[in-house]
Amino acid sequence: MQVEDERVLGRGIRILGLAIRKEPWMFTIAAAGSVLFAILTIATAFVLGAVIGRVVVPAIEGGDTTRAAVVGGAASILALSVGKVAGLWGRRLGAGAMQYRLQARYRREVTRRYLALPLSWHHRHPTGQLLSNANSDVESAWYPIAPFPFAVGTVVMLVVAMAALFATDWVLALVGLTVFPALLAVNVVYSRRMAPRAAAAQRLRAEVSGIAHESFDGALVVKTMGREATETERFSGRTADLRDALIRVGRVRGMFDPMLEALPTMGTLAVLLVGAVRLSHGATTVENVVSVAFLFTVMAFPVRAIGWVLGELPRSVVGWERVAGVLAATGDMTYGTGTLEARDRPAAVCFDDVSFRYSEGPEVLHGVTFEVPAGRTVALVGPTGSGKSTIAALTARLVDPTSGQVRLDGTDLTGLSHAAVAGTVALVPQIPFVFDDSVRGNVALGREGVDDDEVWRALRQAQADGFIEALPNGLDTEVGERGTSLSGGQRQRLTLARALAGRPRLLVLDDATSAVDPRVEAAILAALRGRDAGASILVVAYRRATIALADEVVYLEHGRVVARGKHLELLATVPGYANLVTAYEQADAEREREQAYA
């Protein structure tokens, strides 16, 4: 993403305006504290000038001072210091709360947007980029908020200070004012140079995050294939690019920061030199020179606060535009308001001339038509790439068909409410996902009405109650990230129990028992087809024993329904089906022999 240099300032100011609208009270607290600090800082300059001119200088020159003058001067300085501490506390508290509240707000909004967007959108955006959007991009967008209230107070300080400077000595004020055009020019050049470098760094952060996430996710593959060195080299290459990008950012910052630091100091030095000359000619007083010099000294730091805000705007604009891209993403799945009445019996699903393609790719389903009658079990069988998992996703309405209809109990899925679909259909995917939580938490998922009795019922149906009872803490056992303390078959049974705990009326199994022993799988399917199951079943099947339990088999090739019927009928009449099932059976037998010898 490229940021147009000449528009960085305007876009950055709009982002700051958005921050004020989102957190008006925190900004008010921070700005009020900053303004109080600024006004008292200016007052300190004049109090110090008065103390030096009326107490210190007379005492040095002739010992002419009084205890009351000393006490009064000290009390004035102390009172101003206490007030400045209060202003500083309000500014920092308000700015910190504002920044972190904005970051939390937009992390939640980005996450909610991720959940609302369809799978087709997620397929086009790497996980690492999504993590970067929700983390570093959100942080970058609101990074200028920390110095922003200080800069607002600085503006007030500059206005008041300029008036005070001209009222005190207009010649010294003009000398000092020459600093500000130079500061503005330096900041403009700085923003233009920083913007493209900040954009490149943010993009590379996302890429590094993506590679890291992919490598961690694929750790098992990487280790078993001996590709550690390759993955390390791939990651090192991208981190080196990120390092170089950040160094380029640092070089620009390192070049301009000394200028921003030096200009106010040079202004103060010029004021002292000119003030000394005017003082020698009697054109001004010591009190005025001290006050003006001190004003420029204390203004140097706040003026740099404006520089900090301007310096962070390029990164803020880049981060915000990446976040805004997520928030503005389109393609939401719209839901209707329809409900399903018969909640106490299995549901029926019908595919009517359904075709589907992913994004701009070729069609993966072509005019698919079949049905799963209420209370029946239908097996989807076909070679890899024939569209079985796509049909499973369409049934649960994770995606919508390109053409045709998927009807649940006679109602088009697109006309049903989200609650109606989620409460009726449960999909158990091929790759189980287990949360870093207890067994109870993974099965119940915090759903209302899913108590321990319901959890145990679901575990029994999934043939998972035995190994759960053997765990050290039963339902309270923490299973680790992605269920690392469980075997592949145990994870599959746990995710199946999660689906069953919601008492779905239609259960979609996308090869959900592939890692389970065939005998256990047969027991699971028998339990699912039992009298109290209450669900129709659409199962993506490979094993002959699983297929044989189905009431009907739908055989797919290249995204088309080639044949439908009983298992034995298809074995006798469809050569492609017979060859495929035989190949599956031989592969299972080979795996069992390998396990026996292992």
Q: Is the pLDDT of residue 155 over 80?
A: no
CA gap 448, 463 in Å, rounded: 23
For residue 350, what pLDDT is reported?
92
Q: Is the pLDDT of residue 71 over 50?
A: yes
- Residues 232 and 365 placed together within one structural domain of the fold: no
* Residue 583 domain-assigned (yes or no): no
CB 139 within 8 A of CB 110: no
- Residues 301 and 445 placed together within one structural domain of the fold: no
* Residue 59 domain-assigned (yes or no): yes
3-class SS at 227?
Answer: coil
For residue 108, what pLDDT is reported?
92
Phi, psi angle pair for 540, to nearest 5°:
-80, 115
- Give 227's contacts (C-beta < 8 A, 6+ positions apart): 221
For residue 596, what pLDDT is reported?
53
Mean pLDDT of 175-199: 70
- Residues 441 and 480 placed together within one structural domain of the fold: yes
The identity of residue 366, as a single letter, is H
Distances (CA, A) of 595 to 539, 590, 591, 592: 26, 9, 6, 5
For residue 4, what pLDDT is reported?
46
- Residues 405 and 505 placed together within one structural domain of the fold: yes
Q: Which of 260, 277, 271 shows the shortest CA–CA distance to 294?
A: 271
Token pair, residue 6, equals 């000449």
Annotate 40-71 with DSSP letters as a single string.
HHHHHHHHHHHHIIIIIHHHHHH----HHHHH
pLDDT band at 351 (very low <50, low <70, confident <90, very high): very high
Q: Is the pLDDT of residue 5 over 60?
A: no
pLDDT tens digits, 85-111: 888 888 888 888 888 999 999 999 998
* Residue 485 domain-assigned (yes or no): yes
Q: Which CATH number is 521's domain given?
A: 3.40.50.300
Mean pLDDT of 562-585: 84
Strand ordering across the sheet containing 403-408:
363-372, 349-357, 403-408, 411-412
For residue 593, what pLDDT is reported?
59
Token pair, residue 65, equals 């001072």
Token pair, residue 466, equals 């035995």
Q: Is the pLDDT of residue 1 over 50?
A: no
Q: Is the pLDDT of residue 420 over 80?
A: yes
- Give 445's contacts (C-beta < 8 A, 6+ positions apart): 498, 501
Q: For tokens 């698919």, what's the residue?
A: 368
Q: Is the pLDDT of residue 254 over 80?
A: no
Domain that holds residue 447: 349-369+382-564
- Give 273's contacts (C-beta < 8 A, 6+ positions apart): none
Q: Is the pLDDT of residue 594 over 60?
A: no
Question: Burial, 5: exposed, middle or buried (Cβ in 10 Å; 0-12, 13-18, 19+)?
Answer: middle
- Residues 365 and 311 placed together within one structural domain of the fold: no
* Residue 393 domain-assigned (yes or no): yes
Mean pLDDT of 375-381: 88
3-class SS at 377?
Answer: strand
- Residues 199 and 291 placed together within one structural domain of the fold: yes
Distances (CA, A) of 229 to 215, 220, 252, 534: 12, 14, 34, 51
Q: How many domains does the chain have?
A: 2
Strand ordering across the sheet containing 560-565:
425-428, 506-510, 536-540, 377-381, 552-557, 560-565
For residue 3, what pLDDT is reported?
43
Q: Which of 424, 450, 423 shows the shortest CA–CA distance to 439?
A: 450
Helix 67-116 crosses helix 286-327 at what angle (to 10 degrees)? Answer: 10
CA gap 150, 197 in Å, rounded: 26
For residue 65, what pLDDT is reported?
62
Residues in the chain: 598
Please, which residues bridge with residue 538 across strands?
Answer: 378, 508
- Residues 360 and 310 placed together within one structural domain of the fold: no
3-class SS at 116?
Answer: helix
Helices (H), ranges, 396-464: 418-424, 439-444, 452-461
Let me know how many helices (H) and strands (E) the chain has, helices first: 23, 10
* Residue 288 domain-assigned (yes or no): yes
User: What's the mean pLDDT when you consider all of the chain?
Assistant: 78
- Which of 49-63, 328-342, 453-467 has the least mean pLDDT? 49-63
- Residues 315 and 396 placed together within one structural domain of the fold: no
CA gap 267, 263 in Å, rounded: 6
Q: Which CATH number is 278's domain given?
A: 1.20.1560.10
Top pLDDT among 346 and 166 is at 346
pLDDT band at 35 (very low <50, low <70, confident <90, very high): confident
- Which of 140-154, 390-404, 557-571 has the least mean pLDDT? 140-154
CA gap 530, 464 in Å, rounded: 17
Top pLDDT among 180 and 418 is at 418
Q: For residue 495, how many other CB atoms are within 10 A of its CB?
A: 22
Best mean pLDDT range from 137-151, 312-326, 370-384, 542-556: 370-384
Residue burial 496-513, b: 16+ Cβ < 10 Å; e: rest: bbbbbbbbbbbbbbbbbb
- Which of 367-381, 393-407, 542-556 has the least mean pLDDT? 542-556
3-class SS at 416?
Answer: strand
CB 338 within 8 A of CB 415: yes
- Residues 355 and 304 placed together within one structural domain of the fold: no
Q: Is the pLDDT of residue 6 over 50?
A: no
For residue 217, what pLDDT is reported?
64
Q: Is the pLDDT of residue 478 over 80?
A: yes
- The helix (H) or strand (E) run that includes residue 557 is strand 552-557
CA gap 39, 154 in Å, rounded: 9
Rg (CA), the chain: 35
CA gap 16, 25 in Å, rounded: 14
End-to-end CA distance of the chain: give it in Å, rounded: 53
- Which of 39-48, 284-293, 316-325, 504-513 has the least mean pLDDT? 284-293
* Residue 542 domain-assigned (yes or no): yes
- Give 271's contacts (C-beta < 8 A, 6+ positions apart): 172, 175, 176, 289, 292, 293, 296
- Residues 275 and 358 placed together within one structural domain of the fold: no
- Residues 389 and 287 placed together within one structural domain of the fold: no
* Residue 113 domain-assigned (yes or no): yes
Best mean pLDDT range from 124-138, 222-236, 398-412, 538-552: 398-412
* Residue 593 domain-assigned (yes or no): no
- Which of 215-219, 241-245, 371-375, 573-577 has the least mean pLDDT? 215-219
Token pair, residue 116, equals 């609302």
- Residues 321 and 236 placed together within one structural domain of the fold: yes
Cα dihedral 388, 391, 397, 402 sign: positive
In the chain, what is the greatest distance between 2 CA atoms, to the nearest angstrom? 123
